[in-house]
Amino acid sequence: MYLKNIFKILLLLQILTVVNYSQQSLDIYGGFAKLLRPKFRLNSFEGNAMNFNRTIDWEYGFSSASIMATQQANEIQLAFLGKRIGAHYIYARYTPGFQKSFTINTDTLVTISDSVNVLNSLLNYSEILGLGYSYQFSNNLSIGATFRYFEEEYSEENVYFYFSDTLNSIITKIDSWKKTHWRGDFGLTYQPIDNLLLSLSSANLLILNQKGEFEENNNLELKTDKVAILGIEYQPLNNLFLHAVYESTSSFLVGSDFKFDLFGGNLAFGFSLFHDKYQTPYIAGVQPSISFAYKSISIDVSAILYSDERNSVMDVQNLLTDGIHNITNNQFSYNKIVANFNLALNFKRKQKLDLLDVEILNPIYPILSEEYLENPFAVGKVVNLSNEDIVIKPSSYISNINGDVVSSPSLLIAPYDTISVPFFTVISREFSHFDKREIGQAYFYLTSIYDDNDDELQKPILINGLNSWDSQVNNLRYFVKYDYNDANKYSKDILRNNREMLSTIDERLLVFIQTKIIFNYFIKKMQYVSDPRSSTEYVQFPSQTIEVAGGDCDDLSVAFSALLESIGIQTAFVDYKSEEKISHVNLLVNTKLKPEEAELITQNDKKYFIRKNVAGTEEIWIPIELTSLTNFNTAWEIASSKFNSEAIDELGLAKKKVVIYDIY
């Protein structure tokens, strides 16, 4: 057996490549602006050392590559799993295909017996796994870190001579060296405006837990020069994206991609070219790519085509001088096609609607329950986060006011539009018996129709007592109608006692005489009593006014109106607004008399007013002042004088200084 053991400098490298990629930041997904596009699935640390991701829950993906030169296809290059928890995004990947192997022919022949053996050296770099974490501070700022575990192994066959007294021998033996390390990188993304995203990240910033070395062959160890990487993505048009990456080694990558809507998804074509300091020529290669994303699935196919010819057998000199800086993209990498499949496993349904804020228009006045059916008590600002029309169903629940969630009318909201959404409520009597005001909680819900709640918001709300009034004279009618039965009984009892007299009058005067009788009976029992000191206006219900035998102008007007309305006599409040903001309220009563019948009740046409009813018939209305606390005729004259002066002569009705509110 002969040994031609010559440790010449290696002359020839026979390179069998399993997979390879590019420059530090060349992404296996190809030429896309991937950070700026919300639907783009990210599973790479190469172009995303800051672990930026927009997924909202789980995400799973894998990739496979086909090496053109060797016609070798790998089953799984990479498999990953990501999970978002609030602002945190955690990511882990297993990269069985991220390795690079070299078989180095030493050109040393060893002849033993009749066989001739060539001594080889083996060199292997592999990235085993990676972990990532990022935190989203706001919609436009995210910071993250990635950690990747690498293994390197170098082994060479050596010839050993054994000499002894009886036998001399030659044997070949493999000597190997192994090295492992963790690589840690940091990065941030910042999106100052909707169509621009900037990123800054590192490569080899931290080399951690380094074990082993190649000793005298340390020039074959994976290079870990520190590199800063600056990225920019820009969307000048709705369908066009531009991206560029610059590395502190002076390597760079630029590209663009164009997306189309197709079958409800996005089809994108991208093209990038890159310059790598350690590869030739200046533009080391190009990267055409195609991607289709539909809902939570995306499929991407990209090719990496190097500018120079890559043979499977190459000179080793380059390896010895420049070394390997990146096991996925280096001077020995082949043209390849990479296919990726990603699936977003969103167990958490994607939020389509965002309830930005809710303005509570007014405190709750339980007496105004009917009012809340027509007028919202709160208005929310809602944005459609999706790219489709959504029918939204707003609803609300107020503690101690509602027995159940109250739905408001549905609304249509256009994609990405922001609209105001009114919230209505229903206050049932069983929940409205409040003696004092209290703070409740209002819960606002937004539902995209057929789905669960999309967003919700909670706000404190002031709930007033049942006798509280919002100072809107128009709303006094709710106090009038609150206890109609009691008022009806009171009025009927009075009229029953005057049945004989009523049976003798001109039937045209019935309403007028009934009004006069009830007024004279009611008012002689009353005295003027101011409201209790309170931060809100307090109005008594008619039964309370009758019970306590007194009240202010609101209470007396409400009570007398209820007494008439409960027996079918039409009334209206007259609101006299003063500049000192001290309002006065009295009543108008519909006598049902026609204008030509006015002389039946008065010879003075300043004591009545003609109003046309909804049927177009003109009727005589007379004003009544309740606080006069005198007889009917005096109350009538006082109110007539005030109405003539302020409503008619001073044009108060036209200038809205005097307003008539009909009770309906």
Partner 1 sequence: MKNIKLVILIFLLSSILFAQEFKVNKINGKVLVQKGLEDSYTPVKSGDILNGDDLIITEDKSFIQLERENNRFILKANSALGLNHIRKVSVNDLLLALAMEEIRNIPTNKQNGIEKNTAVYGENISTDVDSKLPINKLGNMKINGAKQLSENGFHESAIIVSKDTFRKYPSTKLNFDDRIYFANLLEDLNLYNETLDEYNSISKLDLTKDQQTFVNNKIEKISIKNLEN
Q: Which of 449/505 has CB closer to partner 1?
A: 505
Taking the complex as a whole, the smallest distance from the CB of residue 638 to partner 1 amounts, in Å, to: 9
d(CA 92, CA 83): 9
C-alpha dihedral sign at 545, 536, 470, 658: positive
Instruction: Identify which of residues 32 and 636 has a Cβ nearer to partner 1 in the complex.
Output: 636
CB count, 10 Å around CB of 225? Answer: 12
Residue pointed to by tokens 């509570």: 360
- Backbone angles phi and psi of 257, in degrees to 5: -150, 155
10 Å CB burial of residue 485 (0-12, 13-18, 19+) is exposed
Q: Which is nearer to partner 1, 378 or 588 (CB)?
A: 588
Which one, 206 or 510, has the nearer CB to partner 1?
Answer: 510
By beta-carbon proximity to partner 1, the closer residue of 360 and 600 is 600
CA 159 – CA 125 distance, rounded (Å):
25
Task: Report yes or no: 60 and 43 within 8 Å, Cβ to Cβ.
Answer: no
Nearest to partner 1 of 6, 651 (CB atom): 651
CB of 509 to partner 1, least distance (A): 6
d(CA 56, CA 1): 67
Q: Which is nearer to partner 1, 59 or 637 (CB)?
A: 637
Of 385, 298, 313, the C-alpha closest to 349 is 385
Q: How far is the CB of 492 from partner 1 (least distance, A)?
A: 10
In the complex with partner 1, which residue's Cβ is closer, 145 or 620? Answer: 620
Least spacing, CB of residue 621 vs partner 1, in Å:
9
Least CB distance to partner 1 at residue 624 (A): 14
Distance CA 650, CA 370 (A): 34
CA-to-CA distance for 578 and 109, rounded, in angstroms?
A: 116
| Residues 150 and 183 sit within 8 Å (Cβ to Cβ) | yes
Beta carbon of residue 544, minimum distance to partner 1 (angstroms, whole number): 25
Nearer to partner 1 by Cβ, of 315 and 618: the residue is: 618
Q: How far is the CB of 568 from partner 1 (least distance, A)?
A: 4
DSSP classification of residue 646:
I
Write out the residues near partner 1 by the rule CB under 8 A.
499, 502-511, 513, 567-570, 572, 592, 594-596, 598-615, 618, 637, 640-641, 644, 648-649, 651, 653-655, 660, 662, 664
Going by C-alpha positions, the residue among 40, 95, 93 that lies closest to residue 297 is: 40
3-state secondary structure of 553: helix
DSSP conformation letters of 605-617: GGG-EEEE-TTS-
Q: How far is the CB of 36 from partner 1 (least distance, A)?
A: 53
Positive or negative: CA dihedral 51, 52, 53, 58: positive
| Cβ 641 to partner 1 shortest distance, Å | 6
Rounded-to-integer distance, Cα 54 and Cα 227, Å: 26
Rounded to a whole number of angstroms, the minimum distance from the CB of residue 54 to partner 1 is 51
Q: How far is the CB of 546 from partner 1 (least distance, A)?
A: 22
42: left (phi over 0), alpha (psi -120 to 50) or beta: beta
552 vs 637, beta carbon nearer partner 1 = 637
In whole angstroms, what is the distance from residue 490 CA to residue 480 CA? 14
Residue 523, token pair as written in the block = 């008012």
Cα–Cα distance, 300 to 290 (Å, whole number): 6
CB 28 within 8 A of CB 44: yes
Dist CA 253 CA 274 (whole Å): 4
Indicate the residue among 464 and 571 with the shorter CB distance to partner 1: 571
